[in-house]
Every structure is written in C-alpha cells, then in structure tokens.
Structure 1
Amino acid sequence: MPYLKLRDGAELFYKDWGNPNGQIVTFSHGWPLSSDNWENQMVFLAEQGYRVIAHDRRGHGRSTQTWQGNNMEKFVDDLEELFEHLKVKDAMMVGHSHGGGEVTRYLGKHGTHRFKKAVLVGAVPPLMLKTTANAEGTEKSVFDTFRQAMHNDRAQFFLDVPSGPFFGFNRPGAKKSEGQIRSWWQQGMNTGFKAAYDSIKDFSETDFTADLKSINIPVLVLHGDDDQVVPIEAAGLKSAKLLSQGKLKVYPGGSHAIHNINIDEVNKDLLEFLRS
C-alpha cells in the first residue's frame, strides 16, 4: 500500500487508482473516517477513465496516529506535500464534511494552480459554530457532548452516529443499512482517539469564510436539505453565495451522507461537472 513520509516523519496513506494518464480527481474524507468512505465515487470515476486519488488524513485510517498537528493548517500542508509528490495538476478536488473544509482551506491557503474545479459535499464551511455573527450555527454545547461521549464510550458513540443522524437512518421509513453502519464504525475506530477528539474542535470552530471568498475556480456545492449533522442553512446555502463561481444543488430529503446514500445521483453530478 502506498505511503508518503511527510516532512515531520508522519506517514500518509493514499490510494491512487484508475488511468495513470487520466485527468485527476482528489477526494478528502469526513470525520472520523478514511478514504474508504469515497470508494463508490472513486471506482465509478476510475471506470470512466479518470485517475482518482484519496488519502487518509493524518491520525485517521492507515496514516500515522499523530499526537500533535491534528488541525486544518497541518492537514492542508500535508495535502500540498502529497500533491507535489504525485504531480497533481489540472485536477478537480472533492471533499465531504470535514474534508470539504480541508478542500476549502487548501484552496484558500495554497491557491488553485493545481485545480480547475472543486466540489463540496455536505461540507462544514463557512462555519459550523454558532456565534453572534453566525446565528444559524450549532451551539458549542453540542460539540462538547461529542467530546464527552468520546471519553465515556467512544465505541458506542461511533455506533450511535451512523445508526442515526449521519445517514438519516433515524428518519421514519428510512431503509437502514447495517453494512453502512459497520463500515462507518470500523473507519472511526481505526482513527486515533487523539486525532478524532482534536478534530471536533477543528471542524466545528474553523472559520472558512475568507477562504471561500478567495477561491477563483468553479465550485459545485452538493447538500441534502435534511442534513442533521451540517444543516444546509448554516453551510451549503451560505457557501454557494460566498463563492465567486459557486453552483448549488440541493438534494431533497438528502442526509449528511448523500454520497453514500444517493450514490448514482452524486456520481452523475460529479461526472457532469467534470465534463462541463
């Protein structure tokens, strides 16, 4: 399995699938998951002739379980090292949830010279936390309960999240997938406790407003209007307005995990945006 040894000695696991000469699409996963969460999109686009690249964020999945540096600034610097190593150019960047924040901050900090387009899926920007200037955000007490739940019983907490709000399996009439729940739990438990814990503050309190305003390439924003984790009113609707070339598509009844639940529709939207 491919690993890149980063400047600080940590090792970053990544997947590099498909046509080695094809146009590149990169994927950034959400909390507390790994690149495995994108496998349906990666296989689909690889079969269409694209080269697809996804990494396990430091502390997550098969990457080094780092004690320090579990924050957005380090995450995007890791990405720049990976993209330099793999010679990424003329690509499209895709990110879900916390990974959507990673995409946004990467483009804001390192620029768009490697990328022609980007896609945000149920992404956390511009800011999840409720503040006086962000009344639509989520109270800090909610994220404090996440931290406490991790201390109390991380394994049970990481079972409760996918069994309920993440996939929308708590909604009346929802078709529950035990496989999706187990996959989420496995990915979450493979992530280091410290990285998962630190990332709660990172995804909830990082303000991406300035990054969104600075991005000068087309960005497709995909968001479910029944997202119980990252409500569309606080995220997708605002991001699309802040982006200079933002395009919003709302998934009616869509959960936080539209790429896992509405697989065919998301794949179609990604392919059409790539080809546009």
Structure 2
Amino acid sequence: MPFITNSKAKEQVDIFYEDYGSGQPVILIHGWPLSRKSWEQQVWKIVEEGYRCISYDRRGFGTSSSPWDSYDYSALASDLNTLIEELDLKNAVIVGFSMGGGEVVRYLTDYGSTRIAKVALISSIIPLVKQKPDNPAGVPEDALDGIIGALQKDRAGFLKEFSKGFYNFKENEGERISQAQLDYDFTIASFASPRATIQTALAWMHTDFRPELKNVTVPTLIVHGDADATVPIETSAKQAAEGIEDNIFKIIKGAPHGLNVTHPDELNELLISFLKK
C-alpha cells in the first residue's frame, strides 16, 4: 500500500495516497469529513484525459494515520508538501474540495508556487466560513459551536444527518443521488478519527484566509453551486473570486455542496477544460 511519511511533523504522520495515470500531475484534496474516495467520479475522467491523478487521505481520515494533535492548516499543508516533494511533482495542479481549499491556499502561503502550475477550488470554504461583522453572510458562531457539540455528544448521529445537507437531500423528490450513496458517505465519515473530525472542523470553522488570497498567484478555477446550503456561496466562492486576481469563476446552477457527486458531468467538463488551457 502506498504511503508517504511526514517525518518533519510534530508526530510522524503516514499519508495514504493513490496514484494513477501519467502526464501532468493533478492532486485531489478531499473535503470534510470524507476521504479520497469522494473523488470517485473525477479520478477516472482525469486519468482518461491523459493526466496523472493523485488523491490522498487527510491525516486522521481514510487510511492515513491519526495523530492526537496538529490539525491546523499549516500542519495539513505540510503533509501535502511532503507528498509533492517525495513524489518529486512539478508543474502540478492542486484541486481542493470544501475544506481542501484551505490546504491549497495554505500550501501556497507556506511553500510558494514553484512546483504548482494551477489550482482549483471546488465548493471551497475559502476564504472564511464564520460570520463576522465584516463577513455577515458567514455561518453564525453559535451554529458552528452546535456542530462541535453534536460531534462530541453523538458523532455518528450527526454525521448521518450531515450528509443529507451535503446534497440537499430530501426523500421522494427525484434525487440525483441514492440512499446508498448517503450510506457510503456515512461509512467513510464514521470510521474517521473522532479526534481528527473535531479538530479539523475547528480549523475550517475558524481560519480566516482572506489575508492569504494574495498568495494565490497561479491560474485558479473556482467552482461553486448556487444551491450550496453547507458553504454559502456569498461567503466563499464570490469572495474568493474577488480576492484572487487570476481566476475563472463558474457557478453550477442548482448544485448543492456535494456537486462532485450530484453534478459530476458538469464539474468534470469545467475541470478538464481548465486543465487543458
């Protein structure tokens, strides 16, 4: 099984990854609280189009190891950097979904763009989730505190319902996903480290990336659904598009947060077109 080891971390961390295809490397960073498996509908398309596709499990999730501490974004970006250095990737494209957008921006902040050709932010939390006086469209802090409380009290119960909101799922309304997909997501999320699930949630809830948008100096694709009830477009993609100079901003009409599953054809078309530019 392929692992890279981040021995520079406070606690040694083993990151599991999958590496398919050849050509320009495309690195996929998954969202919270899932794993690399959430990219199922993108991996095959990226490889089929002639690219090398690398997806990995964030520390604490999937098959990667689960340290007790160090789930801030700089720690997470250090795992990405170790992957890029160990595989000696150059001219790479980093694609971050939801929470993964934070790793993209923090990587560019901490390590620069020498090895990076482009980046993509898909349903990303960038630049800020939390509501503040200067970010009125954000999620109120008491709602974020409620998520942490629910995870501490009944993590499995919370995750069971969370995935429904991920896809704007309502029973008997002609869904674009199946109950089996919800069950699959629940299985992945529930087997993640409880500690990592909470600590990474705190990271995406409270990290303000607005000062770091200036560090995104490579061509950037921003894709968001206008029906995203998990990460509101006003506080995320629209602000990211205003703060990142060289970007292409695409809105998928009617798409929820988990548009990589509900709208794979639309997302894949946008992503492949961006890769080929």
TM-score by length of 2: 0.95
Contact 2:30/2:100 (<8 A) preserved: yes
Equivalent positions of 1:231-270 (< 5 A) are 231-270=232-271
Query: Quick one: percent identity of the two aligned structures?
Result: 34
Structure 1 equivalent of residue 19 of structure 2: 16
Equivalent positions of 1:199-238 (< 5 A) are 199-238=200-239
Between stretches 164-173 and 101-110, larger displacement belongs to: 164-173
Unaligned 5+ runs, structure 2: none
SS in 1 for 2:47: helix
Structure 2 equivalent of residue 56 of structure 1: 57
Contact 1:62/1:190 (<8 A) preserved: no
SS in 1 for 2:38: helix
Q: Deviations over 1:61-105 (max 9, x none)?
A: 111111011111100011111110011111111011000111111
TM-score by length of 1: 0.96
Equivalent positions of 1:117-128 (< 5 A) are 117-128=118-129
Counterpart AA for 1:223: H
SS in 2 for 1:165: helix
SS in 2 for 1:61: coil
Contact 2:24/2:92 (<8 A) preserved: yes
Unaligned 5+ runs, structure 1: none
Contact 1:124/1:203 (<8 A) preserved: yes
Contact 1:143/1:200 (<8 A) preserved: no
By how many angstroms is 1:173 displaced? 2.7
By how many angstroms is 1:172 displaced? 7.9
Count of aligned pairs between the two proteins: 273
Q: Deviations over 1:11-60 (max 9, x none)?
A: 111111112xx111001111011111112111111122211011111111
Counterpart AA for 2:242: K
By how many angstroms is 1:179 displaced? 2.1
By how many angstroms is 1:171 displaced? 8.3
Contact 1:27/1:95 (<8 A) preserved: yes
Displaced runs of 4 or more, over 2 A = 170-174
1:183 equivalenced with 2:184 (yes/no): yes
* Partner Cα distance (1:186, 1:198) in 2: 19
Counterpart AA for 1:167: Y
Structure 1 equivalent of residue 160 of structure 2: 159
